[in-house]
Amino acid sequence: MTPRIVDKEKKKQEILRGALKVFARRGVHDFKMIQVAQAAGVGKGTLYEYFSSKEEIVVGSMTLLLEDLEAHLKPRLANVVKPVDQVREYFFASFEFFVLQKRRLDVLFDFYAAGLPRKDGVPLLQNMAGGYQQAVDFLAEVIQKGIDSGDFRPIDARIAALSLLAMLDGLLFQSALGMTAIADRKLPEKICDVYLGGLLK
């Protein structure tokens, strides 16, 4: 509420934005604090006024990226009401988010990789899975509504959500590897249709 806190939060964001820029260029695993400082237009020491460690910046950046994604999806989904359209919109809007800024995709997968169980069992990014869980829950809910409304076949909503996200992630992944061109809207559409073909009555 006080300006001080607002300013502080704003600066934190600026730093995290700088970090995301750096990640896009150098990867999450090979970035230097000085790069973040430069990208954010602050001094190296200043980073430690807002974050207590390098790791905290990584975590914060990931959270910010997921918030960006959420902010991108929210208005898109708000405009549609039918479950099938919501699923389609979720699918396409997700692609769109990454198509808008191709490097975001690389960063996301870097975060995922950083979130894998490591350091002798402890994942670096503990809430990576948490972010994913939210997406699953949201989609499962939408699908359940579709089932309830009779639009979808009476399948296990969570399984369906998982497999839809699996395909979405898989395609994004392929795109990150340069295997497919998701920018070409046709491809996601075709695939979504194939998937819905199995889902719809």
The binding site for its own copies (CB under 8 A) comprises 3, 25-27, 29-30, 43, 106, 109-110, 112-120, 128-129, 132-133, 136, 155-156, 159-160, 162-163, 165-171, 173-174, 176-180, 187, 190-191, 194-195, 197-199
Q: By CB under 7 A, how many residues form the interface with DNA?
A: 25
Identify any residues that bridge with 200 across adjacent strands, giving them in sequence order: 152
Instruction: Tell whether residue 122 is a contact of DNA (CB under 7 A).
Output: no
The two three-digit tokens of residue 164, written as one number: 């839809």
Minimum Å gap between C-beta 150 and its own copies is: 19
Residues 6+ apart with CB under 8 A from 27: 106, 110
Minimum Å gap between C-beta 15 and DNA is: 9
Instruction: Tell whether residue 29 is a contact of DNA (CB under 7 A).
Output: no
Q: Choose which of 43, 117, 130, 150 interacts with DNA (CB under 7 A).
A: 43
Coil vs helix vs strand at 152: strand
Query: Backbone phi, then psi, for 200, in 5-degree steps?
Result: -70, 155
Q: How far apart are CA 35 and CA 124, in angstroms?
A: 21
What is the CB neighbour count within 10 angstroms for residue 135?
21
Quick one: what does residue 91 bind among DNA, its own copies, none, with the CB cut-off 5 to 8 Å set by partner type?
A: none
Query: Backbone phi, then psi, for 152, in 5-degree steps?
Result: -105, 160
What is the CB neighbour count within 10 angstroms for residue 55?
12
Q: Choose which of 34, 129, 179, 200 interacts with DNA (CB under 7 A).
A: 34
Quick one: what does residue 46 bind among its own copies, DNA, none, with the CB cut-off 5 to 8 Å set by partner type?
A: DNA
Quick one: what does residue 78 bind among DNA, its own copies, none, with the CB cut-off 5 to 8 Å set by partner type?
A: none
- Residue whose CB is less far from its own copies, 73 or 135: 135
Cα angle 137-196-86, degrees, rounded to a multiple of 5 = 50
Quick one: what does residue 128 bind among DNA, its own copies, none, with the CB cut-off 5 to 8 Å set by partner type?
A: its own copies
Identify any residues that bridge with 152 across adjacent strands, giving them in sequence order: 200
DSSP state of 200: B
Minimum Å gap between C-beta 158 and its own copies is: 9
Contacting positions for DNA (CB under 7 A): 1-6, 8, 11, 31-34, 42-50, 52-55
